[in-house]
Structure 1
């Protein structure tokens, strides 16, 4: 049975009631007197300090008495520890080094023979080796059977040497990349090991560390001193200090020996358990004496983190899956078919034409060499090596660009041709100049293992993942996508009619003079209510003006949060001096007051901690911070308080209505409780404010006060009464509100009437200061409640909107409750309808809401897969997940990946639970909440760079973000991410188009070979011609696509998912055939014309009459020297025009969809230079043969007819429009794909959602 809740006046004698009313009237007139002289907003300033001294009225009300508060205890009764407490740094770091080496280092031995055998088992490798054996057989047979050694027979040796070199190089690259991939994580970890081994770690001062939930820092004893350390730097055996409300990150044992306690059983705080006062039920006195409690760790958290990290396997990137699919179809299937088709055509030619005419030796080339060349022309052998270079270059470019964007402090701006009112405009960009020297240096370091930062470009597939991202998962709020400390949103107070007044506020330092503004136009009519609050806010801050703030981490509040050893909400660290200035106070108005003392009242047993309404909220220990000030001129004292609303309301029997003091009735408290309760479940943090003057006898000074000391008053369990559930509180709409009971959680004794009017005796207060402190905090006047909430960082909302335009889904995986998550999601601009949030906790809690049942949404991570298979795909469409545990986040990322999503995970680099999620995602991005690096002086670093020190934050951040590919500084705009995604998409499209160009050219050369053989022409090209063309000329041209300019639709187009790759392969194959068929016809005609013309010049008279120009009628396996040179010159001249044609055709491959008149290829200066260089190089290749030729240049080129040159130089006027026609068909398909993708992306209605 709950104890009766006392009413405000039921137990007070009538004589005392009269005295109370008289004092209230006196105090009201005093407050009105000083408020009337406080400046009205920005109009004029009065001296508030001269008038506030009149408020020396004793507020010792009879209904509040804190006599049951325990006397403030010291630690003198604790046993002293022998020796240093905790481990030594060297010992702890040695443990960390062994853990990292044991778990991560095994990849160093990942050089097993399976990698070598796997390379040899690859079908493309086996096919190339078979082709080499065929060439060897062909060379031997031709050497034995030919009467005259042919040039082309000697060329086989060159071809074999080139193929052997290619296979050996490909083998080396394959093994090298496998080893680099396996060792990347360990190489990065070795950086940390090196720092730990050299003991180049600098401890971090606690005052520099803010407090918010996603910052995993704990106080650890090292070398006998207490230091804040990231959780990942703690080891088994460490002694740590935990305040009440902390959640255990490993199993830990209460360190009873330190306190000289002998317990019957060990007190073990299990992993994930929250430390509450009830944990010490067997020793309750320790809660009354201590702020924090010492525990000894039974596990090393880093061990489990690394194990969870190394078992994660990232999916293969989209473009690599596409290459595997193309390799399977293009090489293994079509390649063999092309080889067989060429063999069949050669057999028909040999048995139908050559064998009947006695050309018995032709079978060697026709049946062995020609099919081999056809296959080698078909297979882009240079592609793996080209991909190795392209991939490293793209990664280097992305890393250099990313670093440049973070260093550049200019604003992101829309491009010049973008309309600022266009809702579908792409993301703004920052114009930064990329130093190509830096890119090439980074490229070289990535290739040669000299990347000292050990970027995980291989294991994260950096540029491939960035260019293919379809989902971005954000798993942290504070200092990731939201401000570290909440900003004020509302002020709530009571007016003279006991009605609640709610004022909305907004913060914007760029537009408002004081950085904050009231949204209500008539807010000044509440000036009398606001001015006591404004003065409270100004006195509670260290900063005089906003300009004096150096950074967000400075302690702006006089409330010494780093000394209050308890769990507090981040709102307690928010400075509101700007609000005081907005109300009307000037900077110098507080000069007349001197801070004398800070008193902290904490209630570890307060029933609000166990309130079921807040079971999903982060635990906050109810505390009140009271700052005592002395007015210098009058030596009067004022107490201003702020803190937990429940505790403030327990201390305030009255409230200020703007004119006088009024009793804080039960109905008023119910209204305040309703407001507080609704704000908490909507992701807001609530702070209450109160005030009271301290009346000292004869206005004497309290000389014993010390502003540097902190006095803490702790309420024991006997000081609170049983909790009354909020849902049983009286309704605020009752007709007789004044008869509603008071809501009290503190057990209060009634003072006598004489005690009420007594002034404080300075002598007695000095003799027993703790009694003075306890009496000072009671009987305060309630001023207001403020709600604060974390606001999205600058540009985050626009960033999310731009992501949707790019087909990238933004998902916020929140650990908070559904209502809390929806409230913040609404600030982000996400949809918060009834079917847009999925709760990831299990169904065991059975707290379904009506809308949840109606929408048939899955509940719990274990139901997501079943829902996707049997119901609909809503879990992949929503952008909000609530009640997410770390394991649920990792599992949801895997589910995304199973359905083809390329996931980028963004989280805090100092939140230890994020590491497995970073490792599971395709790309992890760690946002650094604090400055990670602390170094020695610049002079000492110049003398010896090895002396550079690293902060513990830096080491802990690196361990947490070990699998991450990118690191964001805390002030980096998220538009940096959209810009590097844009750049990665450009590079990805360029690489894909370059590969398509190579495949198309290979297809064209193979077609040329088959058609030429079918038309009874000799080999139109030799093997070394093919290698020269595909390995050098075409590879070089395709590589220049990397410098293609941006397409306007880069960030408004949807990319393919990582599933069902290259479904339109046969359509692309047809496009390739159609693109090349005209060119093949032109080349066949040109070769035939040149063969006829040059044959006449190089043949003697007998040859002219005895051999037809259609050379198949002769025995070409025994050509004389002149015939061989004629054939070789025909090939070289044709090859020169092939290069000329293909370089021009490459301009139509630069963009997949845009026609050449919209996408100007001449913007790519590298491509222009390369084309000219390739023309020059090919001309040199053609002309160099004339050094050894018996014929002059004039003889050969002069023999070619005019129409040969016309066909060669003017044919682009024919095949370029034909290329554009084929691209037009492809563009239609691409447009349909985009429309379908956008429709699927924007459709969020599930099977059970309303239509």
Structure 2
């Protein structure tokens, strides 16, 4: 046999056209674009179908601190029938589905996500309403010999459950109601929130019922003031006014933190019908401005914080209701609540569960220290009470009393006159509330501002309640599961670092010395930071000069000068009592950022370029605004992070953040309730159409790939799991496809190189590359879910950077040739 016998035996068409085509034909993506579209449509359809199936998500355990491993058995139970996916698949394929599968492919983002960011807390990460966490009140105990451990003002137990302060009252000879040998104890009872119910709670201490005499006035004050629906309209108007006042000072927050405490009153033993024995007469509102620089100086717990820390605290205010008993000859009572600073200034005594005791200077310091400690990280409300002998004019209900920043001199002339010494024989007479009536004249009603202010003086301090937002169980479990899946959960908190770190601990996030960054830039000059001593927009205000007070006091009041001077310290304003006491931090860790991490969004990029990548590793950003959050997400994307943002569909400020993220999840949050007895809003009927809230949610969630209700049984972890599984299956499909076509093309190339007869004809190549190989490759998508897929970390998004680099390098020779010629 001679080579010359068969070399050249083929036609020129076979050698010059068909042979090269047979080599290149398997490498051409003839059917791959169509298959890629079908694969992505099928993957997005499965993700959307998972949102509509709620039964597969009931895998959470009751205790969020139990093991959160997702076993193989639970993963195998996730099965979707073709009938559940078919309709969604067709809609996605033809662009009729509501999700933006083409502009923001949720399948690819969730399959490669490296950071899940949440930009809203209330109703998503936490329950929509804060719940009572601690109850503070004063009580008297018999005198015991002092010990070295009782010399300090406060004594904390190791677990921080009980705060107890025991010392000798300074003014024991003036305590005309309590025994002179008694001591004052500041008692704190802790409450635990039921993680399965937004309002339910219970006392931690099994012996809490021994304090019922001290708690009953508190429960009654809650029912008549806090959770009295007849007071909500007036309180809402007062909040609107104070919100406008707070605009003049960026360090003060409005007084919209009054939340439902019905469950606490119920635990104490009150039923809702207890309100029926009283009738609401009038409502009084008082507030005052403060100097922010004075607050930072006086509040010792904030002295160690950086100057750039946006230290926010409630606007000093007090809301009082005048109620009348339907029995008991229509006796009038005044129940007040508000911030502890202004409420405490209005009190002269406290209820210890048995009798009334005079508030000494030391007692005020105990109340003050607890309030300052808790108000930095929680929401603290103080309660007070007093009987009245005259009613208030209805005209004063529409008046908001604004006090000067230092209003201690206003309370001194209006205090109830008390003798200096009391004998044991007449002590029992003053154990009633008669001594609280003071020097007021009995009249039909009070119609002037001075009289209205006098009615709010000489009150009895009842106690304080601190409230805190509690993390939801499913979010605690989600964070733990994402951590095991090598996905970083990032919380962009709008609050300062104090409140943010306390809540991050509740969610299980790291809150150590280098685990948070404030995005608030350094403030160079204060524009609106200086508050005014008086507000010109207030309908009516007490603006009395000190000289006028002194003249009226010296000429018109029959009060013993020695008695006034001897107890004058007990009447100082709350802010004047701080420097004389020392106390530990309000929480159990150092609030200052000692790691010297960058502070402010403008310092993030220089830190990443010159120091290290710690800002890309933290899980908490504080003092966030929509603009700084958007910029930080952009920085994370520039450094290869694949960011998925979860936010509230009720927040219009999130639209820009949604557009910046690789993909976003719009969550319809759980809305806060004024009271658990009142629904959030009334749903509209079909004929009425969508409500303004629903219409707003639709508009705000337009950029989002997925929208769902927080109350729906949607598991983000399972969405990520399914996305990773599908992306891994698609990648295996593509790899197998590429290997097959390369092998087929190599066989044809070798056959042509050695001038052998063709193994496959053109028709056979088309059949194999367009039918056989695609079907074999697509079959890999039907593999069952692999539990180990959530234990592998995803790569960062550097493909775009490499593509740009290669495109520039590839175009350089062309540019050089053009330049040369």
**TM-score over 0.5 (shorter chain):** yes
Q: Which residue of 2 aligns with 1:644?
A: 339
Match of 1:925, SS state, is strand
Counterpart-to-counterpart distance in 2, 1:1050 and 1:585: 53
Deviation at 1:857, TM superposition (A): 1.7
The partner residue of 1:499 within 166, 185, 189 is 185
Question: Does the Cα contact within 8 Å between 2:56 and 2:78 map onto a contact in 1?
Answer: no
The partner residue of 1:603 within 269, 287, 296 is 287
Q: Which residue of 2 aligns with 1:1028?
A: 767
Deviation at 1:477, TM superposition (A): 1.4
Whether 1:370 aligns to 2:19 is: yes
Counterpart-to-counterpart distance in 2, 1:951 and 1:576: 29
Aligned pairs for 1:77-156 within 5 A: none
Q: Which residue of 2 aligns with 1:633?
A: 327
> Deviation per CA, 1:329-374, whole angstroms, max 9, x where unpaired?
xxxxxxxxxxxxxxxxxxxxxxx98667562544432343222222
Question: Does the Cα contact within 8 Å between 1:473 and 1:813 map onto a contact in 2?
Answer: yes
Match of 2:333, SS state, is strand
Counterpart-to-counterpart distance in 1, 2:87 and 2:436: 81
Counterpart-to-counterpart distance in 2, 1:829 and 1:460: 30
Q: Which residue of 2 aligns with 1:1001?
A: 740
Question: Does the Cα contact within 8 Å between 2:57 and 2:715 map onto a contact in 1?
Answer: no
Q: Which residue of 2 aligns with 1:576?
A: 261
Match of 1:502, SS state, is strand
Match of 2:92, SS state, is helix
Whether 1:792 aligns to 2:438 is: no
Q: Which residue of 1 aligns with 2:490?
A: 811
Counterpart-to-counterpart distance in 2, 1:429 and 1:571: 44
Aligned pairs for 1:174-185 within 5 A: none
Deviation at 1:901, TM superposition (A): 1.3
Change (3 A) 1:865 1:593: same
Q: Which residue of 2 aligns with 1:910?
A: 650
Match of 1:456, SS state, is coil
Q: Which residue of 1 aligns with 2:709?
A: 969
The partner residue of 1:778 within 454, 457, 463 is 457
Question: Does the Cα contact within 8 Å between 1:814 and 1:882 map onto a contact in 2?
Answer: yes
Question: Does the Cα contact within 8 Å between 1:934 and 1:951 map onto a contact in 2?
Answer: no
Counterpart-to-counterpart distance in 2, 1:960 and 1:375: 50
The partner residue of 1:674 within 366, 369, 380 is 369
Counterpart-to-counterpart distance in 2, 1:871 and 1:398: 40
The partner residue of 2:127 within 458, 483, 487 is 483
Counterpart-to-counterpart distance in 1, 2:346 and 2:631: 47
Counterpart-to-counterpart distance in 2, 1:499 and 1:517: 23
**How high is the TM-score relative to the length of structure 2?**
0.71
Change (3 A) 1:426 1:470: farther
Counterpart-to-counterpart distance in 2, 1:937 and 1:1000: 58
Counterpart-to-counterpart distance in 1, 2:263 and 2:438: 37
Whether 1:462 aligns to 2:106 is: yes
> Deviation per CA, 1:1173-1207, whole angstroms, max 9, x where unpaired?
xxxxxxxxxxxxxxxxxxxxxxxxxxxxxxxxxxx
Whether 1:690 aligns to 2:384 is: yes
The partner residue of 1:937 within 685, 688, 694 is 685
Structure 2: gaps spanning 5 or more residues: 141-182, 244-252, 303-308, 418-434, 527-588, 672-679, 803-821
Range moving further from structure 2, 662-671 or 358-367: 358-367
Aligned pairs for 1:854-933 within 5 A: 855-929=595-669
Question: Does the Cα contact within 8 Å between 1:468 and 1:985 map onto a contact in 2?
Answer: yes
Range moving further from structure 2, 425-434 or 991-1000: 425-434
Counterpart-to-counterpart distance in 2, 1:760 and 1:366: 121
Write 1 or 2 for the structure with the bigger share of strand. 2
Change (3 A) 1:509 1:983: closer
The partner residue of 1:449 within 73, 84, 95 is 95
Question: Does the Cα contact within 8 Å between 1:904 and 1:923 map onto a contact in 2?
Answer: yes
Write 1 or 2 for the structure with the bigger share of helix. 1
Question: Does the Cα contact within 8 Å between 1:596 and 1:705 map onto a contact in 2?
Answer: no
> Deviation per CA, 1:726-779, whole angstroms, max 9, x where unpaired?
xxxxxxxxxxxxxxxxxx3855533796995567756x31x8487775444332
Counterpart-to-counterpart distance in 2, 1:824 and 1:413: 22
Deviation at 1:793, TM superposition (A): 1.9
Match of 1:858, SS state, is coil
Deviation at 1:688, TM superposition (A): 0.7
Deviation at 1:920, TM superposition (A): 0.8
> Deviation per CA, 1:796-816, whole angstroms, max 9, x where unpaired?
111101110111001112222
Counterpart-to-counterpart distance in 2, 1:435 and 1:492: 57
Q: Which residue of 2 aligns with 1:394?
A: 43
Change (3 A) 1:933 1:757: closer
Question: Does the Cα contact within 8 Å between 2:411 and 2:457 map onto a contact in 1?
Answer: no
Counterpart-to-counterpart distance in 1, 2:607 and 2:122: 31
Question: Does the Cα contact within 8 Å between 1:561 and 1:573 map onto a contact in 2?
Answer: no
- Greater CA radius of gyration, 1 or 2? 1
Question: Does the Cα contact within 8 Å between 1:652 and 1:780 map onto a contact in 2?
Answer: yes
Question: Does the Cα contact within 8 Å between 2:255 and 2:315 map onto a contact in 1?
Answer: no
Counterpart-to-counterpart distance in 2, 1:558 and 1:1015: 92
Change (3 A) 1:560 1:1005: farther
Match of 2:236, SS state, is coil
Deviation at 1:933, TM superposition (A): 11
Question: Does the Cα contact within 8 Å between 1:460 and 1:923 map onto a contact in 2?
Answer: yes
Aligned pairs for 1:196-215 within 5 A: none
Counterpart-to-counterpart distance in 1, 2:485 and 2:636: 18
The partner residue of 1:822 within 501, 504, 528 is 501
Counterpart-to-counterpart distance in 2, 1:898 and 1:841: 21
Deviation at 1:1018, TM superposition (A): 1.8
Change (3 A) 1:429 1:645: farther
Aligned pairs for 1:840-1239 within 5 A: 840-844=519-523, 855-929=595-669, 937-938=685-686, 940=687, 949-972=689-712, 976-1014=715-753, 1016-1059=755-798
Deviation at 1:1023, TM superposition (A): 2.5
Question: Does the Cα contact within 8 Å between 2:598 and 2:604 map onto a contact in 1?
Answer: yes
Question: Does the Cα contact within 8 Å between 1:378 and 1:1003 map onto a contact in 2?
Answer: yes
Match of 1:503, SS state, is strand
Q: Which residue of 1 aligns with 2:534?
A: none
Q: Which residue of 2 aligns with 1:750?
A: 414
Counterpart-to-counterpart distance in 2, 1:377 and 1:693: 94
Counterpart-to-counterpart distance in 1, 2:409 and 2:40: 65
Question: Does the Cα contact within 8 Å between 1:936 and 1:949 map onto a contact in 2?
Answer: yes
Deviation at 1:402, TM superposition (A): 1.3
Counterpart-to-counterpart distance in 2, 1:1043 and 1:494: 67
Question: Does the Cα contact within 8 Å between 2:282 and 2:323 map onto a contact in 1?
Answer: no
Match of 2:14, SS state, is helix
Change (3 A) 1:891 1:927: same
Counterpart-to-counterpart distance in 2, 1:851 and 1:621: 22
Match of 1:792, SS state, is coil
The partner residue of 2:224 within 539, 552, 557 is 539
Counterpart-to-counterpart distance in 2, 1:745 and 1:1009: 101
Counterpart-to-counterpart distance in 1, 2:327 and 2:313: 43
| Greater RCO structure (CA 8 Å; 6+ sep) | 2
Counterpart-to-counterpart distance in 2, 1:401 and 1:511: 26
> Deviation per CA, 1:144-166, whole angstroms, max 9, x where unpaired?
xxxxxxxxxxxxxxxxxxxxxxx
Whether 1:836 aligns to 2:520 is: no
Counterpart-to-counterpart distance in 1, 2:291 and 2:342: 10
Q: Which residue of 2 aligns with 1:256?
A: none
Match of 1:1046, SS state, is coil
> Deviation per CA, 1:51-76, whole angstroms, max 9, x where unpaired?
xxxxxxxxxxxxxxxxxxxxxxxxxx
Change (3 A) 1:805 1:458: same
Structure 1: gaps spanning 5 or more residues: 1-351, 544-554, 697-701, 724-743, 941-947, 1064-1251
Match of 2:46, SS state, is helix
Counterpart-to-counterpart distance in 2, 1:395 and 1:660: 69
Match of 1:485, SS state, is coil
